[in-house]
Chains A and B, each alone.
Chain A
Amino acid sequence: MPSVARRLFVFFVLLGTLCAGCTTYAEEASEYQIKGAFLFKFASFVEWPANAFADEKAPLVIGILGDDPFGRDFDERISGHAIGGRAVTVRRYRNVADAAKAQILFISSSERERLPAILDALKDSKALTVGDGEMFTRRGGMVGFIMSGASVRFCINNDAAKRAGLKVSAELLRLAKIVSGGE
């Protein structure tokens, strides 16, 4: 049935073109789209203490404190994924106290002025704190996004993570610029 084979061929060619288009799209993804993806992927390389979750079934919560730079489609991209057997959900916070329950907490640049207070408030939290810039980590944040040319890199304040009882994998540490500070 050559007609069927030809149709299948055409289908795959179209699919290939579509995928190539996607890739192109991804390459040209915006800075915060990448950062969002990274934020989500950090979960794979960090171990939380057992008491960080309410129970075994509790979802892994990615929180955003302050203005949301990731956009609404961030939720869509994250939802459906699971890390370490847990579902992943995105929550947006205005209140630090609420945000303390998240496992990964992106502290938006909008909160730069009250960062010390926020970090202080999160002292007992088990949240992996993520923010923009190296300074974020120097001030006690755990992971800070930095730009290296067009690429998004990050630096990690492992001491801060350790203080929160988090264990950052060596692999992740190897990719990051290690920073200390805070407290």
Chain B
Amino acid sequence: MRFRDLPITRKLVLITMLTSGVALLLAGAAFITYDLITFREMVARDMLSLSSIIGFNSRAALTFNDPQAAEGTLAALGERPNVLGACIYSPDGKVFATYTRPGEKVHFPAGPGAVGAHFVDNKLEVFEPIVLDKEPIGTIFCVRDMQDMYDRLMLYTGLVLAVLCLALLAAFGISAVLQRVISRPILNLAATAKTVSEKKDYSLRAEKRSADELGVLTEGFNEMLAQIQARDNALRESQQRLSVLVQNTPLGVVLWNANLEFLEWNKSAERILGFSESEVIGNKIFMIIPDSARPHVDQVVRQLFENTGGERSTNENITKDGRSIICSWYNTPLLDANGRVVAVASLVDDITQRVRAEDELKKAHDELELRVDERTRELQEAHAQLLETAHRAGMAEIATSVLHNVGNVLTGVNASASFIGETERASRINVMPRIVEMFREHHDDLGDFLTRDEKGKQLPGYVEALTDHLLKERVAILNEIDSLNKNVEHIRNIVSMQQSYAGVSGVVEFIALPELIEDAIRINSAGLGRHSIEIRREYGEVPRIGIEKHRVLQILVNLLSNAKYALTAKTEGERRITVRLSMQGEKAVKIQVADSGIGIATDDLERIFRYGFTTRKEGHGFGLHSSAMAAQAMGGSLTVLSEGLGKGAVFTLILPLQYMNREKALKP
């Protein structure tokens, strides 16, 4: 079994033992090497000093040429069991004295060699000069074996091996126990991982035992499990949802492979195409495709498997009972790991009904367009009529006002006529015939009658008084006749004014607005005067404008009339209408008719210009509507402001300096 396949526990123990073993071996080798080197050096030093001592002690023997004595000195080396032999050379290089360990054979060099210690053939040889009074008097040679060093080497090696064995044993024991610190969490983790993968139970968790990297690993593993569990749950849920969707969707869900064989077929597909699941699985897709749709479908299929499109297709399909239906297909290529299309998931929707409905809808739409055109034409006509009506209504209003004024003046005329009649009927002139009779009776005795008759005496005074009276009466009647004439003249004026506005529609004139406003006020003057309404004029400088005079007049009359009604409906407080005239910017003028009347409810502000809207009992709801239409028709506008009931109202008429004719205004 290879090392990397061993269980972690054994790996850890092996690693520990190997490590400690190698460390010990290296340390032991280093120690032995160091010891041997030290030992060699020590032996060399020892031999050198020993040679020096022996040499020193041999000086006299050398000096006085006494080899026996020298050998006696050398014999002292017998104390050193490792020393194999020694010899002393005289200054002329000859062997002077020797020592050989009993039982050994030593070959002494013929003459002295290099001074110092030399290891030769596992032996240590030492040459040391012998000096007396700074003069060399000879050389000593010693040779020793290194047996003790080899003994030492053997001993140490044995010792190191013994210690190694003991240490490995100890390392095995310790690591066998301590490796659990590392291996147990890993084994635990491995066991958990195995259980998880076998049982697919992602709710399991590994136990965290420490805060080291293994703890982090365990934590990470658990976190991963938690994520997988969450994802698993989410996946299951979404799968359930998807399955519910697939089962219940009104769309047919169809899966087919690269051989163009059906793999999946849901209920809706069965409902749409008639074939049951068992009837289609394993069969080619062409069973639901009529020949007429083959070229199109072939292209879609090719695109799908080349992954170059075909995601949407609307084509004819054929049902089990042979009906031809139109289906909309939503195709999704399913790729394998290499990006190859292995299958296609399709959603199918029967859109036959929709297509037909769309066709019908289109037909209906076309019809509708025709009808709309028609209606538009009708509306345009109606609009023109309405404008005409408004115009006429305006004229009617002016006529009403005129008649009203005429009526008022006629009252005066009538009163004058009555007064004259009554004055004449009750005139004392009636007594004149009796006076004339009296005169006739007393034609002859007129003088007597006048002087003596009681009646005749009073007569001159009576006639005087009568004459006085009749003169006065005449003055009164003449006055009335003047008034009558004036009233008649007034009526004539009114009528001629009405005639000047009537029947001149569409004629643009350059007019001075103040005069026009005055005309409007005059037309309304009867009602205004009767209700003692004060008119305040605030006219600014405006140029003459080119406009359809009678239409503006209609609007102004209508506004003034409305203001009058707003004021008369009020029982108390001042009754005042303020008419303002000013420029509105540079291209328009502004005419405002403000009253202190009953005002307009906020809700009514929006509706006030609508056709048929009125707050008056006798109103027809036409005046403001037609006025607004007329203002718009002239390229201007009519707006109203009121802060509410009882707060009065301000109508603002904007008129362009440059007139836009009716035809232009009609086409926005």
Contact = CB atoms under 8 A, between A and B. Distances in A.
A169 B60 contact: yes
Given A84-B133, A171-B57, A44 B65 contact: no
Interface residues of A, number: 17
Nearest to A174: B69
Nearest to A23: B92
A44 B133 contact: yes
Contacts of B60: 45, 169, 171-172, 174-175
A151 B61 CA distance: 13
Nearest to B57: A171
Contacts of A175: 60-61, 64, 66, 69
A44 B69 contact: no
Interface in B40-77: 57, 59-61, 63-66, 69, 72
Contacts of B57: 171
A180 to B, nearest CB: 21
Interface string A65-103: 000000000000000001110000000000000000000
A82 B133 contact: yes
Contact of B65 (A45, A151, A172): A151
Nearest to A84: B133
Contacts of B72: 174
A41 B69 contact: no
A14 to B, nearest CB: 17
Contacts of A84: 133
A38 interface: yes
B132 interface: yes
Nearest to A19: B92
Contacts of A154: 64
Counting chain B CB atoms within 10 Å of each CB, the highest count among A23, A38, A44, A82 belongs to: A44
B65 A83 contact: no
A27 to B, nearest CB: 10
A48 B475 CA distance: 206
Contacts of A83: 133
B63 A41 contact: yes
A82 to B, nearest CB: 7
B59 A171 contact: yes
Nearest to A22: B92
Interface string B74-86: 0000000000000
Contacts of A153: 66
B612 to A, nearest CB: 153
Nearest to B61: A175
Nearest to B59: A171
Nearest to B134: A82
B64 A38 contact: yes
A147 B450 CA distance: 252
A82 B92 CA distance: 21
B88 to A, nearest CB: 14
A154 B65 CA distance: 12
Nearest to B90: A23
Contacts of B64: 38, 41, 154, 172, 175
Contacts of B133: 44, 82-84
Contacts of A38: 64
A174 B64 CA distance: 11
A175 B57 CA distance: 11
B132 A44 contact: yes
A14 B568 CA distance: 177
B61 to A, nearest CB: 6
Contacts of A41: 63-64
B133 to A, nearest CB: 5
A175 B73 CA distance: 11
Interface in A116-171: 151, 153-154, 169, 171
A83 to B, nearest CB: 5
A19 B69 CA distance: 27
A38 B66 CA distance: 12
Contacts of A151: 65
A118 B69 CA distance: 33
Interface string B131-151: 011000000000000000000
Contacts of B69: 174-175
A15 to B, nearest CB: 13
Contacts of A174: 60, 69, 72
Interface string B156-191: 000000000000000000000000000000000000
Interface string B512-535: 000000000000000000000000
A44 B130 CA distance: 14
Counting chain A CB atoms within 10 Å of each CB, the highest count among B57, B64, B72, B132 belongs to: B64
Nearest to A83: B133
B363 to A, nearest CB: 134
A109 B64 CA distance: 22
A62 B59 CA distance: 21
Contacts of B61: 171, 175
Interface in B84-110: 92
A28 to B, nearest CB: 14
Nearest to A20: B92
Interface string A19-35: 10001000000000000
Contacts of A44: 59, 63, 132-133
A17 to B, nearest CB: 14
A79 to B, nearest CB: 15
A174 B57 CA distance: 10
Counting chain A CB atoms within 10 Å of each CB, the highest count among B61, B132, B133 belongs to: B133
A19 B61 CA distance: 23
A103 B60 CA distance: 19
A23 B132 CA distance: 21
B616 to A, nearest CB: 160
B93 to A, nearest CB: 10
A142 B63 CA distance: 19
A47 B279 CA distance: 138
Contacts of B132: 44
A83 B59 CA distance: 14
Interface in A39-66: 41, 44-45
Nearest to B72: A174
A60 to B, nearest CB: 11
A125 B65 CA distance: 29
A165 to B, nearest CB: 21
A45 B72 CA distance: 19
Contacts of B65: 151
B225 to A, nearest CB: 94
A41 B69 CA distance: 17
Nearest to B68: A175
A113 B59 CA distance: 36
Interface in B619-652: none
Given A45-B63, A174-B69, A175-B61, 5 more contacts: A41-B64, A44-B59, A44-B133, A82-B133, A84-B133
13 contacts: A38-B64, A41-B64, A44-B59, A44-B63, A44-B132, A44-B133, A82-B133, A83-B133, A171-B57, A171-B59, A174-B60, A175-B61, A175-B66
Q: Which 3 A-B pairs have the closest CB atoms?
A: A171-B60, A41-B63, A175-B66
